[in-house]
Amino acid sequence: MKKTIHFLFMTVAFLFTTVIMAQSTVTGTVIDAELNSPLPGANIVEKGTSNGISSDFDGNFTLQTNASSGDIVISYVGYNSITITFNGNQDLGNIKLTPDNSLDEIVIIGSGVIDLAEGRKTPIAVSTIKANQIQEKTGNSDLPEVLKSTPSVQSIQGGGFGEGQLFLRGFDQTNTAFMLNGQPINSPEDGRMFWSNWSGVLDVAKAVQVQRGLGSSKLAISSVGGTVNIVTKTIDKKEGGFVQQMVANDNYTKTTASYSTGIMESGWAFTALLGHWQGDGYVDYTDGQGQTYFISLGYKLNEKNIFNFMITGAPQWHATSGFNNLQRYLDNGRKYNFAYSGVDSPNLLNGGLYPTGRNVYHKPVANLNWDLTINDQSTLSTVLYASAGRGTFASTRRTNDIPTYARGSNNNHNWYGLVSNYNNKLSENLSVNVGVDIRLYNGIHFRSVNEFLSVNSVEGSSNYNGGTFQVTDAFGGINPWNVFFNTNDDHAQRLHGNGNYDYEEDINYYGVFGQLEYSNDNFSAFFQGSASTQSHLRTEYANAAIQGQSEESEKVNNTGFNVKAGAAYNINNNNVVFANAGYYSRQPFHSDLFTNDRSSNQLNPLVQGNQKITGLEAGYKLLGDQVSANLNVYYTIWDNRIDYSSRDTDGDNFDDEFTQTSPLKQVHSGVELEIFTRFADGLNINGFVSVGNWEYDGNITTRTTDDTGVVIANGATSYIDGAKIGQAAQFTAGISADYEILPRLKVGANWNQYDNLYGNADFGGDEFLTENNRGTIKLPSYDTVDAGVSYKWLLGKDDQNSLQFRVNINNIFDEVYIENSRDNIHVDSGDIAWKGVNVNNGVRLGYGRTWNCSMRFNF
């Protein structure tokens, strides 16, 4: 009996030990192969069992298995699944998932010059929108609309196609840096962005990353509010493509087709995308149409050398609406457009209707990338790029209220650049990279006749032509291809005198940059720095001292630099704190340097040295299985800057007074909170709130001119100290949710709230002439709700093909709201007001309910 008990005891012990020995712990991190960013919520399952878990918000997982060896399957919606063999307790390290062919699997090249936040271990305040989200939610919107559900971002839709604007932490687009595959694309003249020139970029975007504040870019770029990085397709790994048809409100239609060969055995890869769109526009008489093209030719010479040539463009034309005073909208509806001519005349084209303003532009961009892997520790990435923009803003000229011709304000350019970055991993914990940034820019600006409407020629006075001129040739019309290839190079056939202009500028920029980063398991720190020199030369034709000749300005040379540093500490796997600081000494824009950059070589006496930008920020990251959060605080000082304001004083819907200010100081501070949740498979509920306090600090000196450059007032004081900075809401909040209710059937919605929105400070207006001013007007708060539903139908052998359907409805409840105000007119006794706003303010109303529907076949 005793032996039997011993035997049973030993048997149980042996079996128990066997079970214990058979169990294994498998850990790893699931990441996006191309963007090197974590994939939260990925499914990790022990093959052949129901034993599985999901990765946390940092992509990490720990799986307890019931066997000493076997396979695990890692999967994520929209990505290719992979199977990995394990043997005992094992850390699998980084497990890279690549998008499936429906999301256009690609090899991102030029990655060394694309400053994505995931490429640096020290965190920043960042939000990333990936390809599947862009594909679902973009519809027929501009890029700013896609980003509006991220903290401290406000999108202004504008009055016509491609006229959207983005504000980031209260700074407009001229002071937010936009990058396309690491290439700066803000205008070198004044920092502006025109989304009509980039209408097709979202068709080929792999991801868009918003880096608020200091960001991770190493270049000396025009970033005060932050950086928006657009990463497009380059080399596709697999053969495939898609055909998509979209329709939307106001007769909008868009057809797009794309095909990729994938990487062939020869190492070559080819991708092409073509598209055409047209529509009437939400606002009356803002019709437009355009094309999109994208061509990428890649070659993988070997594992160490990858080359890619890309060219993309979006030729388009669209009519504009301008600002209307609020009373006109109240009388005529929010679609009302004053900016067109409706006089019936037998000699007038287009049946008597002609836009007061029409944008016509074609700006192809080409770049050549080379990624070189030197060895296991070092890489070199280089991009050589060029752009040749040709376009015009055609505005109607009238005689006795009858349109006579369309005057083109031409803004042409030739732009070349080079960005090269060398990266070296000095040790397991220390890495360094250095690089060069060269930009050569030639801008060509003049006024000409684009179309004759009821006359056959235009005459006037001209300094350049010796007293008078007669223009008999029209150039380009409204066809962007004609404008691009039929440029007016004859100064005698350009409009001079009477507020017209004819000049060029050359802006050359040379910069160097570098970064040193240290990291270990719990701590990381970085230091970045850049230095640059920038030269400006202006050439005047219309008002040159000698008739028929050109006259060059004094050459202006400015140096600038920036330094950034930061550190992060991982308290544990779920909690990270960080802090960053930076200082920019930024050269003035070319448009700041001259008293009137349209008609004079005279340097602007208000410009006194570089702009000074100081940024401080800190953050906390919570990384959990079901809840993740980012908390950021920031404090930005922008000092010694020049600013412009303008106004329409004669009611013709065009500005005719311009005010420059200096030195202007702004202080922007705030708190941002993002929360991401995943309480159930297929259900994501996210939210954010941003609270800002943006004010002017100190008073300024102003200088006001008319549209011909004649000084109206000089040296006046504008009392703006403490006034709120307008144009963007200082409080924003939002909640978004999407749920996969059935396999591949998903519904989603987002709610956005905007408050503490103020009018534009008119520095030359009466509101700031005395110390007892009332500051900027406050606009009413508003909120919008958007929703969408999508379904993906798998087709073909092994479900390799698919048919996707998507419907979006924006502003479901048809909210009527003021997006922004270009004026700052307070309500006085006897004035008429709407929701507390004087109806004489020139405002832009947001769009009402809109919709779009698309069908996409992936093959």
Beta-ladder partners of 54: 43
pLDDT given at position 780: 97
Backbone angles phi, psi at 149, to 5 degrees: -95, 30
pLDDT bucket at 56, cuts 50 / 70 / 90: confident
What six digits make up the tokens of 309?
Answer: 């040539």
Kindly indicate the confidence band of residue 279, based on its pLDDT and cuts at 50, 70 and 90. very high
Taking the C-alpha atoms of residue 814 and residue 812, their distance in angstroms, rounded to an integer, is: 6
Please report the pLDDT score of residue 48 as a whole number: 72
pLDDT value, residue 64: 87
Q: Is 591 helix (H, G, I), strand (E, B) or coil?
A: helix
Q: Which residues lie closer than 8 Å to 2 by C-beta, 6 or more apart?
A: none
24 pLDDT more than 80? yes
CA distance linking residue 469 with residue 498, whole number of Å:
12
What is the Cα–Cα distance from 465 to 43, expressed in whole angstroms?
A: 74
The mean pLDDT of 392-405, rounded to a whole number, is 83
Output the pLDDT for position 346. Answer: 44
- The values of phi and psi at residue 230, to 5°, are -105, 120
β 402-425/378-399 pair status? antiparallel
Q: State pLDDT tens for residues 719-756.
A: 889 999 999 999 999 999 999 999 889 999 999 999 99
Domain spanning 2-98: which superfamily?
A: Immunoglobulins (2.60.40.10)
Query: Among residues 555, 355, 540, which one has the least CA distance to residue 446?
Result: 540
Q: Measured between alpha carbons, how far is 475 from 391 in angstroms, rounded to an integer? A: 11
Q: Starting from the edge strand earliest in sequence, which strands make up the sheet with 818-821, in order?
A: 324-325, 842-845, 818-821
Determine the pLDDT at residue 653. Answer: 54
pLDDT category at 420 given cuts 50, 70, 90 is very high
How do the domains of the chain map onto residue ranges? 2-98, 103-232
- Residue bearing tokens 């080409």: 366
**Residue that has been written with the tokens 């990291």 in this structure:** 519
In sign, the C-alpha dihedral spanning 759, 761, 764, 769 is: positive
- Mean predicted confidence (pLDDT) in 69-93: 81
Give yes or no for a contact between 390 and 362, defined as CB atoms under 8 angstroms apart.
Answer: yes
Residue 728 three-state SS? coil
Q: Could you tell me the CA-to-CA distances from 343 to 282, 405, 449, 733 in Å, in that order? A: 23, 14, 20, 46
Count of other CB atoms within 10 angstroms of residue 855: 13
Q: Do residues 848 and 823 lie in contact, with contact meaning Cβ atoms separated by under 8 Å?
A: no
The encoded tokens of residue 438 equal 């060269």
User: Which residue is associated with the tokens 């404090």?
Assistant: 635
pLDDT value of residue 353: 63
- What is the biggest distance separating any 2 CA atoms in the chain, rounded to whole angstroms? 128
As a whole number of angstroms, the distance between CA 692 and CA 634 comes to: 9
Spatial CA neighbour of 45 closest among 71, 72, 24: 72
How distant is the alpha carbon of residue 446 from its chain centre?
28
Among 417, 459, 453, 416, CA closest to 437: 417
687: left (phi over 0), alpha (psi -120 to 50) or beta: beta
The answer to whether residue 36 scores a pLDDT higher than 70 is: no
Peptide linkage before 315 cis (omega within 30 of 0): no
Query: pLDDT value at position 9?
Result: 44
User: What's the rounded Cα separation, in Å, for the pair 793 and 781?
Assistant: 41
Q: Enumerate the β-bridge partners of residue 801.
A: 795
In the prediction, which pLDDT does 314 show? 93
pLDDT, tens digit (0-9, with 9 covering 90-100), for 781-824: 999 999 999 999 988 877 788 999 999 999 999 999 999 898 89
User: Containing H/E element for 472?
Assistant: none
Q: Convert the pLDDT of each residue in 524-565 to its tens digit.
A: 999 999 999 999 999 999 888 777 788 999 999 999 999 999
Query: Which of these ranges, 246-260, 340-354, 377-391, 609-623, has the smallest mean pLDDT?
Result: 340-354
Give the per-residue pLDDT at 316. Answer: 94
The CATH code of domain 103-232 reads 2.170.130.10
Reading the block at residue 451, the tokens are 């179309």
Residue 764 forms beta bridges with which residues? Answer: none
| Residue 291: closest CA among 208, 363, 355 | 363
Task: For residue 164, give the nearest of 187, 141, 180, 139 by alpha carbon.
Answer: 141
**Alpha-carbon gap, residue 374 to 853, rounded angstroms:** 47
**Per-residue pLDDT at 365 exceeds 90:** yes
Distance in angstroms (rounded) separating the CA atoms of residues 146 and 148: 6
Give percent above pLDDT 90 in the chain. 44
Neighbours of 581 (CB within 10 A): 16
Q: Is the pLDDT of residue 612 over 50?
A: yes
Q: For the residues 626-636, what does the mean pLDDT come to? A: 93
Output the CA–CA distances (angstroms, integers) from residue 89 to 14, 24, 59, in the order listed: 21, 5, 19
Nearest residue to 741 via CA among 683, 809, 699: 683
| Residue type for position 45 | V
CB 678 within 8 A of CB 626: yes
Question: Which residues, at least 6 apart from 578, have a Cβ–Cβ distance to it below 8 Å?
Answer: 122, 123, 124, 566, 567, 568, 569, 618, 619, 620, 621
Q: Which helix (H) or strand (E) holds 330?
A: helix 326-332
- Length of the chain in terms of residues written: 859
- Choose the weakest-confidence range: 212-226, 250-264, 489-503: 212-226
DSSP assignment letter at 269: E
Distances (CA, A) of 315 to 196, 261, 360: 9, 26, 8
- Nearest CA-CA partner of 169 in 185, 157, 155, 151: 151
What pLDDT score was predicted for residue 543?
A: 82
End-to-end CA distance of the chain: 73
The residue-averaged pLDDT of 635-660 equals 75
Please work out, in degrees rounded to the nearest 5, the angle formed at the alpha carbon of residue 754 by the alpha carbons of 764 and 851.
Answer: 110
Query: Which one has a higher pLDDT value, 348 or 429?
Result: 429
Q: Where are the beta strands (DSSP E) in 171-304?
A: 176-180, 183-184, 205-212, 226-232, 235-236, 240-248, 252-260, 268-279, 288-302
Whole-number pLDDT of residue 106: 45
Of residues 845, 788, 803, the one with CA closest to residue 822: 845
Q: Give the pLDDT score at 508.
A: 97
Q: Note the pLDDT of residue 90.
A: 86
Highest mean pLDDT among 463-467, 499-503, 674-678, 808-812: 808-812
Tell how strand 82-87 and strand 69-75 pair up.
antiparallel
pLDDT at 121 over 60: yes
